[in-house]
Amino acid sequence: MTTQNAQAEQFDMTRPLPIVQPWSEAFWAGAREGKLLLQHCKECSATIFYPRKFCPECWSADIEWRQASGKATVYTFSTAYDMVEPRFWADLPYTIAYVDLAEGPRMMTRIVDCAPEDIKVGMKVEVTFHKLDDKFSLPFFRPAAK
């Protein structure tokens, strides 16, 4: 038995998929098409992320989806080298970040297409989608084109 097979037997090595709520399905449908969608409250003009059933600012149900620019700034980051779940071992090292979207909300993501040592707080980044399967693509970010 190979080491990899032994690991696969002991641990769940399958890639975790987002646990979706009905009101966030449109976000993932957009991500499949390469679009970063944010909710917009038509009642109070709040830009909402993560998606909610009602606007968290005013509780309005009058919410629409708008495509975001995909531009963001790194608020903070941490590059993982060890002690992650076995299902993420193959990705090591990888960098998790909070990025502030140009539209305001903050989201968790991965910074890709960049050496870990080159990632800085305040770095300008842009969205790129990473396909998990036919249903899900995760919004990752990479250094913004100059």
3-class secondary structure, 127: strand
Count the site residues for other proteins by CB under 8 A: 40
The region of 31-39, 40-48, 59-67, 132-140 touching other proteins under the rule CB under 8 A is 132-140
12 binds other proteins (CB under 8 A): yes
What burial letters (b/e) apply to 49-68, b meaning 16+ CB within 10 Å? Answer: bebbeebeeeeeeebebeeb
Which of 89, 146 has the CB closer to other proteins?
89
84 binds other proteins (CB under 8 A): yes
Encoded amino acid at 9, one letter: E
Please say whether the beta carbons of 57 and 38 come within 8 A: no
81 binds other proteins (CB under 8 A): yes
Q: Name which position in 8, 40, 73, 80 contacts other proteins (CB under 8 A).
A: 80
Helices (H), 23-86: 25-32
Please say whether the beta carbons of 120 and 74 come within 8 A: yes
Q: How far is the CB of 116 from other proteins (least distance, A)?
A: 8
Provide the binding-site residues for other proteins, judged by CB under 8 A.
10-12, 15-21, 24, 50, 75-86, 88, 91, 94, 96-98, 106-110, 116, 121, 132, 136, 138
